[in-house]
Amino acid sequence: MMQEERLTQILTILKRRKKISNEELAAMLFCSISTLRRDLIKLESQQLIRRVHGGVVLNLATTNEPSLYYRETNFIKEKKEICEIAQDFIGDGMCVFLDSSSTVQQLVPLLKTVSNLVVLTNGIKLALNISDMNDESIKAFMFGGEIKKNSSSIVGTDFTTSFINQFNIDLAVFSCRGLDINGVYESSLSQARIKQQVIDKSKNSILLADESKFDSPHFFKVSNLKTYSAIISNKKPEKEYTKLFNKHGIDCLY
């Protein structure tokens, strides 16, 4: 198994377990303790995990973003299920914003059923995927700004706001780094800020979040949950969430 694959598996295991011993983790990965140690040192240098006595824990509060490879190879089935629901919100002749998340990327193949669509995005890979569709009925526009290499996205500069203001956005589709009962979060201020700007200019916003995103606060708050008209997941959220959704008239779909 290549190191990148092991790193992805380590993060996936920790998403579910939160804490695990070195011995158990090495056994699950079929690797030696010395190999595991090198992997953990690399993940810790990226501030994604913390090594503790005899084991490792997931670093929930970090400003670093997991690699695009990790995000694209985790919870694929769940992300596809979520996007199959989300596609019903996108209709002919709409102008939509799609963020750079690996979840929202799963929407792209489903857009072939929509005509006369205008797509705005800050996602480099998402834009390339739309281009590869070679569909003349979809017009795609990318934000200008700073390239965030680890997330394959573009984040804001001073002219981002003026660019957004040129479009009448019917629907904004977001995922997130995490959420809790108090709000929706990103791991970088630049990602949070660009999403806030799009929310302010959009008639309607929806949030796509698989089960791993719940109860996972991070440093930079994007918005409150009531900002979104619908929140789509792969399974029914806990009661405290559904109670809040009902209170604010948020559709919860799964």
The span from the CA of 40 to the CA of 154, in Å, is 29
Q: Which two tokens stand for residue 51?
A: 């090594």
Closest CA to 2 of 39, 33, 28: 39
Q: Provide the pairing of β-strand 251-253 with 230-232.
A: parallel
Contact between 248 and 226 under an 8 Å Cβ cutoff? The reply is yes
Domains and CATH numbers, the chain: 3-62 (1.10.10.10), 71-253 (3.40.50.1360)
Q: Which two tokens stand for residue 4?
A: 């990148």
Cα dihedral sign, 148-151-152-153: negative
Q: Which two tokens stand for residue 203?
A: 């008639």
Q: Say what the alpha-carbon torsion angle 231, 232, 234, 235 is, to the nearest 10 degrees.
A: 40
Q: Any idea what the Cα angle at residue 99 is, between residues 94 and 104, rounded to 5°?
A: 85
**Per-residue pLDDT of the chain in tens (254 residues, 90 and over written 9):** 788 788 888 988 887 787 899 999 999 999 999 999 999 998 888 778 889 988 999 886 655 566 665 666 678 899 999 999 999 999 999 999 999 999 999 999 999 999 999 999 999 999 999 999 989 999 999 988 888 766 778 887 677 788 899 999 999 999 999 999 999 999 888 899 999 999 999 999 999 999 889 988 888 999 999 999 999 999 999 999 999 999 999 999 99
Contact between 212 and 219 under an 8 Å Cβ cutoff? The reply is no
Backbone torsions φ then ψ of 106, nearest 5 degrees = -70, -10
Q: Which two tokens stand for residue 96?
A: 């939509």
Closest CA to 14 of 60, 65, 78: 60
Helical spans, DSSP H, in 87-123: 102-105
H helix or E strand, kind and range, residue 51: strand 49-52
Contact between 214 and 179 under an 8 Å Cβ cutoff? The reply is yes
The span from the CA of 120 to the CA of 102, in Å, is 16
Exposure pattern of 144-180 as b/e (b: 16+ CB <10 Å)? ebeebebbbbbbbeeebeebbeebebbbbbbbbbbbb
pLDDT digits (tens, 9 = 90+) for 21-61: 999 999 999 999 999 999 999 888 877 888 998 899 988 66
